[in-house]
Amino acid sequence: MDFLSLAIPDVVLVTPRVHRDERGFFLERYRQEAFAAAGLPTTFVQDNHSRSRKGVLRGLHFQRGAFAQGKLVGVTRGEVLDVAVDLRPGSTTFGRWVSAILNDENLRMLWVPRGFAHGFVTRSEEADVVYKTDAPYVPEADAGVRWDDPTLAIDWLLEDLPQGAPRLSTRDANLPELDVVMTEAGRRHDEEGRT
């Protein structure tokens, strides 16, 4: 496997070695010693799988505080633009984002560390996204940032998608902008400090 740090160095693009022949292909999606040597987590506690139609955007999602999750994201069918946004207070790259095209041809994966919001938009007719997490899903810690927050200015490559894209869930369409999320996080931190 090859591990490439992106413009935000803690986000890592993982490219497996794919063995192809007339029958199809074989690859290792995860190998403990390779991940350890690259400085990435080697313990995962949950596997998730979603299927989305063209133009569907899911995100930007994260879990708050002690319940934060790191995610190893890949695509087994179709193609998505995968996005990670740095939400770590005090980080020199706070509020910046990186993206990568993940599909069933390049078979790359994106490591999205804890402290990042994550989302993707489907570019193919359908896409199956699979990801491992290093912490379990906790509904009470679930949070998100609005996909089109102007302070983030994420380029979702929507010009390549059908009219009406992106298609959002009601929840995702109503997520707050980053400044609201951070104000709420600061207030929650202050309240926890007083108890």
Catalytic annotation, residues: 61, 131
What are 147's two structure tokens? 């996909």
Burial class (CB in 10 A: 0-12, 13-18, 19+), 124: middle
Question: Which helix or strand (DSSP H or E) is residue 122 part of?
Answer: strand 116-122
Give the C-alpha distances (Å, rounded to integers) separating 11 from 30, 175, 179: 16, 23, 22
What are 96's two structure tokens? 């910046």
Asked whether 129 and 120 are in contact (CB, 8 A), the reply is yes
Report the C-alpha gap between 188 and 40 in whole angstroms. 30
